[in-house]
Amino acid sequence: MMQLRTPGGAPLSPLCFGTMQFGSTADAEASHAMYEACRAAGMNHFDTAHVYTGGASETLLGQFIKKERDAIYVATKVAYTGGAGRENINAAFDVSRKRLQLDCIDLLYLHRFDPQTPLEETFEALAQLQQSGKIRHIGVSNYAAWQVMKAQAVARALDTRIDMIQPMYSLVKRQAEVELLPMAKSEGIGVAAYSPLGAGLLTGKDSRSGEGRLATDSRYAARYGQPWMHKTAQNFAMLAMQMQMDPATLAVAWAAHHPSITCPIISARSIDQLRPSLAAAQISLSGEDYARITALSQAPAPATDRLEEA
């Protein structure tokens, strides 16, 4: 796999910070404090999106990185709404670039798959942005493995490639293990995994606390509403206590341990909430501890009906 680097040539940090809260649950002051904490911990990879917090996320991140642009690897996403046609990609990208105050964005993701637009049109637009020096690398988020490979074939025909994918991945969301992660390993594609804390479920605080997305957002309540997930989270919290580790630290470290994961994407609303996730960069799980944690959740079914061969 090609090792992605900052414009200044530094390898990417083992954790990425997702700025989805910037300008919303984290005001400008809290957002800047978290950015500085990430930098102090050696993090140089920051992720945002055109749709995050009405543009405030990109605007704030652009302000924070201004004095050290070459030391930072910036990823953003387009085409969550409006489709992945050329016109929508270019229009959203132009707005994102102005908010970030950047001539070139390091990594541009397609935020999700668009079945209505030919991949040829989508990737011609991305290839043109890359050839004109406006983006360095191409990524896709929330794609199935077959969608990645179909898009990669189109990209190759245009003399470019998908360098990074961004799937959901945590102890209670392991579907990526079936096809996405083996595909990424085989094809040399990086993996920035989001929601390693399971929207807070794995932090030891569930929706009964009345705070966080599980309690306030019906989409997340449904996404993590399976009883087995909550049971896994309870058992995980107990194991973390036995290991004398914060559950958030352990959850991020578990996600990072998978050999196909380039970096988990951590996020927070405040410095206090951020610290346990940041600490995961210093944790190296033993094979035994990794296996104990993994055994707490349901392993996804293998990608075959020939179970006798699995």
Tokens encoding 27: 């005001």
DSSP one-letter code for 43: -
Q: Is 52 an annotated catalytic residue?
A: yes
| Share in percent of the chain as helix, strand, coil (round to 5) | 50, 15, 35
Instruction: List beta partners, residue 154.
Output: none
Q: Is 139 helix (H, G, I), strand (E, B) or coil?
A: strand
Q: Please name the residue ranges forming H helices in the chain.
A: 28-40, 56-65, 86-100, 119-131, 145-157, 180-187, 213-216, 218-223, 227-242, 247-257, 271-278, 287-294
Q: How far apart are the first and last CA of the chain?
A: 27
Judged on CB neighbours under 10 Å (0-12, 13-18, 19+), 5 is middle
Inter-helix orientation angle 247-257/271-278, to 10° = 40
The CA distance from 300 to 292, in Å, is 16
Catalytic residue among 52, 80, 143, 194: 52
The CA distance from 261 to 185, in Å, is 9
* CA angle centred on 101, ends 34 and 88, rounded to 5°: 105
Q: Which residues contact 48 (CB under 8 A, 6 or more apart)?
A: 18, 19, 20, 22, 57, 58, 61, 74, 75, 76, 77, 100
Catalytic center residues: 52
